[in-house]
């Protein structure tokens, strides 16, 4: 009977193998690469990886990538950890789950960006790594062939996914330059695109939504975008309330829409400190979703959870809360030993990309 069972198993069609495996989580698939050479070849195939990314969203639950450091300028003691975005998320349980950051030989990390399942690390010497923490694989990008200023105050990066070509791309701009450098993960190389306009001065923080990277332009108080599929810049004007110089603005993604987190009177931390959450309904049209006052213990909105709640940090008490906008309730998520300015949270999902 056992021999007959083996014969039946041996004759399962290969396309059925694929149909079964494609629904499994990344951790299981990584184990199954050791089952046989044929399974290893299948799981590492680029077509399978792309299909798994599209087919198995339920098995790739959203996680939270936590980056922390002791002070703003402490570039040598950065810790990164990944945790499932669950309703019982507790910051105090994170201390012993730090990941080993790749490329430590390259020196300290200057900036960290996430886009879906990949992390882009920019080091102080402008070396760049694209990293998939869930499978612990990374690649080091070649240096751009083109010149340009190598100063962190005038060089800005963007990292995003181009759905038109199924490709991850890194964008590098230089303040005052008429060109942009673009790295394609598919080709493994940089190329330069020239424009008739000067590049903008933007904040380091950015988001990528539907193949467009967005930054806040600090000079003219609007949103600048770069379409990864068309290599085109775009500009979105802010409404009067958002465009005020009294605001501190941050970008976020909320259900594949551009979201703006607006802080008012943040310096000084008075009772009038407010945080408003806006969503862009169409280019230039913004809807205010909610306003949270400092009386509700909000110091900084860290990220949106999958269930719609907002992880926040209380500045004076150094506590992490989850804020439920449906009932304005706060849930305690733990205390922190470092100032929340140096605590960053990004959403992340597991995948086989880079395998």
Which distant-in-sequence residues (6+ apart) come within 8 Å of 198 by Cβ? 176, 177, 178
pLDDT tens column, 210-220: 999 999 887 76
Mean pLDDT of 78-105: 67
Q: Over 60: is that where the pLDDT of 338 sits?
A: no
Report the predicted TM-score, pTM, of the whole model to 2 decimal places: 0.84
pLDDT of residue 103: 67
Higher pLDDT, 200 or 27: 27
- What is the average pLDDT score of the chain? 79
* CB atoms inside a 10 Å sphere around CB 339: 15
Higher pLDDT, 348 or 118: 118
Residue 276 CB burial class (10 angstroms; 0-12, 13-18, ≥19): middle
Q: Over 80: is that where the pLDDT of 60 sits?
A: no
pLDDT of residue 120: 93
Q: Over 50: is that where the pLDDT of 6 sits?
A: no
pLDDT of residue 196: 67
Smallest CA-to-CA distance from 226 within 170, 282, 143 is with: 170
Mean pLDDT of 137-166: 82
Which residue in this structure is represented by tokens 């600048």?
Answer: 224
pLDDT level of residue 269 (50, 70, 90 thresholds): very low
Q: Structural domain boundaries of the chain?
A: 2-55
């Amino acid at each position: 009977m056992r021999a007959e069972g083996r014969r039946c198993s041996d004759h399962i069609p290969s396309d059925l193998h694929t149909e079964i495996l494609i629904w499994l989580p990344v951790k299981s698939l990584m184990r199954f690469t050791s089952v046989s050479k044929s399974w290893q070849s299948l799981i590492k195939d680029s077509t399978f990886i792309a299909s798994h990314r599209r087919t198995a969203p339920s098995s790739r639950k959203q996680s939270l990538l936590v980056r922390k450091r002791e002070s703003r300028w402490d570039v040598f003691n950065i810790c990164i950890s990944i945790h499932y975005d669950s309703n019982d998320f507790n910051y105090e349980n994170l201390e012993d789950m730090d990941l080993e950051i790749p490329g430590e030989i390259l020196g300290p990390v200057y900036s960290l960006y996430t886009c879906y399942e990949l992390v882009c690390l920019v080091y102080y010497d402008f070396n760049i790594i694209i990293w998939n923490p869930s499978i612990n694989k990374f690649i080091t990008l070649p240096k751009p062939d083109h010149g340009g200023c190598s100063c962190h105050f005038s060089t800005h990066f963007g990292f995003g996914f181009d759905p038109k070509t199924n490709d991850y791309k890194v964008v590098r701009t230089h303040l005052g330059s008429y060109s942009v450098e673009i790295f394609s993960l598919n080709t493994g190389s940089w190329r330069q695109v020239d424009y008739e306009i000067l590049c903008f001065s933007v904040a380091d923080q950015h988001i990528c939504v539907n193949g467009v990277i967005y930054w806040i332009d600090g000079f003219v108080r609007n949103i600048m975008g770069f379409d990864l599929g068309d290599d085109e810049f775009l500009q979105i004007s802010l409404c009067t309330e958002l465009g005020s110089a009294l605001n501190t603005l941050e970008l976020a993604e909320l259900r594949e829409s551009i979201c703006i987190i607006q802080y008012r009177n943040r310096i000084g931390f008075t009772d009038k400190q407010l945080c408003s959450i806006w969503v862009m309904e169409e280019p230039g049209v913004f809807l205010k979703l909610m306003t949270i006052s400092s009386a509700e213990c909000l110091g900084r909105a860290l990220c949106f959870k999958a269930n719609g709640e907002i992880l926040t940090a209380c500045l004076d008490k150094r506590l992490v809360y989850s804020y439920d906008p449906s009932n304005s309730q706060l849930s305690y998520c733990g205390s922190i030993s470092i100032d929340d300015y140096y605590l960053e949270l990004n959403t992340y999902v597991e995948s086989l990309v880079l395998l």
